[in-house]
Chains A and B, each alone.
Chain A
Amino acid sequence: NAGVMQNPRHLVRRRGQEARLRCSPMKGHSHVYWYRQLPEEGLKFMVYLQKENIIDESGMPKERFSAEFPKEGPSILRIQQVVRGDSAAYFCASSPPGTGALYEQYFGPGTRLTVT
């Protein structure tokens, strides 16, 4: 059973460009979470999605950031007009359907975004 997959693993963008980060959850998992980790810091929650629905986006910046989890295909975290402060590691996690709070989240290897 493949784990959570993220691509690309490393992404370099110039200021003003768009960054697209992809996440494929574990097989059978329908809950997806995105977290951001700044250097030497813990992970900060960004957004929680189920198929075709954003459940909680309380951690997402109001501008330039968006996320989706379509019926088919991976979840996408999109950052428009990137700035240097967006440089971070972005982790995706997934958990099974049902009483999600009881289940641990399984994390992908992360995408390290560098904005030059």
Chain B
Amino acid sequence: AQSVAQPEDQVNVAEGNPLTVKCTYSVSGNPYLFWYVQYPNRGLQFLLKYITGDNLVKGSYGFEAEFNKSQTSFHLKKPSALVSDSALYFCAVRLSSGGYNKLIFGAGTRLAVHP
């Protein structure tokens, strides 16, 4: 069965420090991978995606993610965290064939950036 794991419920980072939010996946075929961010009482906002090509993907608000096929990981990173980055982050996977486009989400990681 396809699944996504976000091993950390919460990540705490000081403002200005680099941040990493971890994601690993398990799928039977080639994955399409996504990161979304959710602010309180809001819908999800798309950050970035990996479809194919360069393993390092750059997205919105200075975020980037690295696809690592051998480790089945797609960790989200940012070189310098801002307090405004504090939110709930979701990793998601979609199958490249079959699956009819549905996204499978991880449980989410709450990022807290302290001044």
A interface, CB within 8 angstroms of B? 4, 31, 33, 35, 41-45, 48, 55-56, 58-59, 91, 93, 95, 100-102, 104-110, 112
Which of A43, A56, A108 contacts B105 (CB under 8 A)?
Answer: A43
Which A residues lie within 8 Å of B90 (CB)?
42-43
Q: What 0/1 readout, one digit per residue, does chain B (75-115) give for beta carbons within 8 Å of chain A? A: 00000000000000010001111011111111110000000
Known: A42-B107, A43-B90, A101-B32. A106 touches B101 (CB 8 A): no
**Which of B11-19, B44-52, B63-71 sits within the interface?**
B44-52
Whether B105 contacts A95 by the Cβ 8 Å rule is: no
Whether B104 contacts A45 by the Cβ 8 Å rule is: yes
- Taken together as a complex, chains A and B put the C-alpha atoms of A39 and B112 apart, in Å, by 18
- Taken together as a complex, chains A and B put the C-alpha atoms of A29 and B48 apart, in Å, by 19
Number of B positions contacting A (CB below 8 A) = 26
Interface positions of B from 19 to 41, Cβ below 8 Å from A: 32, 34, 36, 41
Closest A-B pairs by Cβ, 7 of them: A107-B43, A56-B100, A42-B105, A107-B44, A45-B102, A100-B101, A42-B107
Instruction: Identify the closest chain B residue to A95 (Cβ).
Output: B101
- Taken together as a complex, chains A and B put the C-alpha atoms of A20 and B102 apart, in Å, by 22
Which B residues lie within 8 Å of A56 (CB)?
99-102
Whether B101 contacts A59 by the Cβ 8 Å rule is: no
Whether A102 contacts B32 by the Cβ 8 Å rule is: yes
Q: How near does chain B come to A2, taking the closest CB pair, in angstroms?
A: 13
